[in-house]
Structure 1
Amino acid sequence: AQDREVREYTVRSIYFDSRNYEDYRAKVEGLKIRKKLRIRAYNEVSPESSAYLEIKRKRGGYIFKDRAPFVYQDIEALFESRDIDRYIPLNGSPAAQDSARKFFFHLHRGMLRPAVLVIYDREAFFSKFDPSLRLTFDKALRSVLTDKVTVFNREIGLRYAMPSHFIW
């Protein structure tokens, strides 16, 4: 997602869930097949920043990700209209619009809503021998409950989890 020269960056995600937090409970209970929907952006988010609709699915030991890029300033219009043809560009991955359709299908089917903003700082290391191999260390994990899709730069009210620890 980021330039390989930039090894440290901030990850900002808004996770969606049902009113009963079914996706969160699936994670806590260790279900082998589960999914989570999120919007992800990086570093300080400006109106011109790229953001991504993502569906991350886990099946046993395998992880699959559907991802659709959009311009952050379009986030409210995208969620109000769900006009994928207008807001999800075709010039990136040809599967992007398909991924966006899947995202909104699951959003509607599961009656999902924004649930939590999660922010952390990440340092990535890439293999010299295999460019697809990446090891990441996350730190300064912080979060806050939210019901909005437009709070990516929020820093007030965030609660830190596991201060002084790395997550990998």
Structure 2
Amino acid sequence: MAIKSFKRYEKKFLLGKEHYNNLIPRLLEYMNPDAHCKSGKNYSIYNIYYDTDNNDVIRHSIAKPYYKEKLRLRSYNIPSNPTDKVFLELKKKINGIVNKRRVVLTLEEAYKFLEFGKKPISDDYVNSQVINEIEYYLSKKPVVPKVYIGYTRKAFFGKEDKDFRLTFDSKIITRRGNLSLEAGCFGENILEEDQYLMEVKILGAMPLWFTNILSELEIYNTHFSKYGNEYMRYSSDKQKYNDMREIKRIC
């Protein structure tokens, strides 16, 4: 097992193709592509988000509370074996500051933990601490696999400040059935064609050169949550379906 911990601010921007094409060359003056994005390549991220039967986690999250947290199972490849490595992540947001704690497990360990409460064994104190945090989360929230979200990502980090990161996510695919990472990436795209979600990940203030570029290109931040937008779309479609059933019943 291995653990990583992140604490940072995140700003989000929705870009069309023109903004994206104009921005990338400017970024390369100050940033380098992530090691997984050499030669212009993207990498893929696959997630299963966990929530209650009543969607309490995401409903609380989209209300923009002071504190929120969510649990997800993440992979950077489509698993094909129980021993394949996956990330179990507990993501917290407190007054705008994101804190992400995660532990690397085998797919089998993760499923046994999430479905049956069997804790993974670790001799490492910090790993054990994160596992205990997740165990506590599971004890107070009866969560189940709720939604799949997969996407492709292009990432950059600052040449001078490697803690300054930018990611561009596209082809954000979601589904509410067949909720296993092994099933692969298929479902509905929640972004428009040629649209990108840019996330700025910072420990403090954004670099002046970056804010100047955003101003010149007239790029403005927005509020966008992958899971939140998926849920609002799902709720809207569900309401439309119920309305149609009610109309047919009356008629």
- The Cα of 1:30 is off from its aligned counterpart by 1.5
- The Cα of 1:78 is off from its aligned counterpart by 3.6
| Alignment match, 2:66 | 32
Report the Cα distance in structure 2 between the residues aligned to 1:124 and 1:90, rounded to whole angstroms: 33
Paired amino acid for 1:67: R
Q: Normalising by the residue count of structure 2, what TM-score does the alignment of the two structures yield?
A: 0.58
3-state SS in 2 of match to 1:95: helix
Higher-RCO chain (CA-CA 8 Å, sequence separation at least 6): 2
- The Cα of 1:72 is off from its aligned counterpart by 2.1
Report the Cα distance in structure 1 between the residues aligned to 2:49 and 2:178, rounded to whole angstroms: 10
Paired amino acid for 2:67: I
Tell me if the contact between 1:12 and 1:152 (Cα under 8 Å) persists in the aligned partners.
no
1:44 to 78, 83, 97: 78
Alignment of 1:5-24 (within 5 A): 5-7=35-37, 8-24=42-58
| Alignment match, 1:82 | 118
- The Cα of 1:41 is off from its aligned counterpart by 0.9
| Alignment match, 2:155 | 124
Report the Cα distance in structure 1 between the residues aligned to 2:91 and 2:109, rounded to whole angstroms: 22
Report the Cα distance in structure 2 between the residues aligned to 1:98 and 1:55, rounded to whole angstroms: 12
Report the Cα distance in structure 2 between the residues aligned to 1:108 and 1:81, rounded to whole angstroms: 9
1:53 to 83, 88, 111: 88
Q: Which has the higher strand share?
A: 1
3-state SS in 2 of match to 1:101: helix
| Superposition RMSD in Å | 2.3
Report the Cα distance in structure 2 between the residues aligned to 1:167 and 1:27, rounded to whole angstroms: 19
Q: Normalising by the residue count of structure 1, what TM-score does the alignment of the two structures yield?
A: 0.83
Q: Which has the higher helix share?
A: 2
Runs of 5+ unmatched residues, structure 1: none
Provide, for residues 96-127 of structure 1, a one-character-per-residue CA deviation record: whole Å limited to 9, x for no partner. Answer: 22112211221221111111011011110111
Q: Give the structure with higher Rg (CA).
A: 2
Taking a change above 3 Å as real, the CA distance of residues 118 and 90 of structure 1, as seen in their structure-2 partners, is: farther
Tell me if the contact between 2:173 and 2:185 (Cα under 8 Å) persists in the aligned partners.
no
Task: Give aligned-pair identity as a percent.
Answer: 22
Taking a change above 3 Å as real, the CA distance of residues 55 and 81 of structure 1, as seen in their structure-2 partners, is: closer
2:134 to 74, 87, 103: 103
Tell me if the contact between 1:107 and 1:113 (Cα under 8 Å) persists in the aligned partners.
no
Taking a change above 3 Å as real, the CA distance of residues 125 and 153 of structure 1, as seen in their structure-2 partners, is: farther
3-state SS in 1 of match to 2:103: strand
Deviates more, 1:99-108 or 1:11-20: 99-108
Report the Cα distance in structure 2 between the residues aligned to 1:66 and 1:152, rounded to whole angstroms: 23
Paired amino acid for 1:84: P
Tell me if the contact between 1:116 and 1:147 (Cα under 8 Å) persists in the aligned partners.
no
Report the Cα distance in structure 1 between the residues aligned to 2:117 and 2:67, rounded to whole angstroms: 31
Paired amino acid for 2:96: G
3-state SS in 1 of match to 2:50: strand
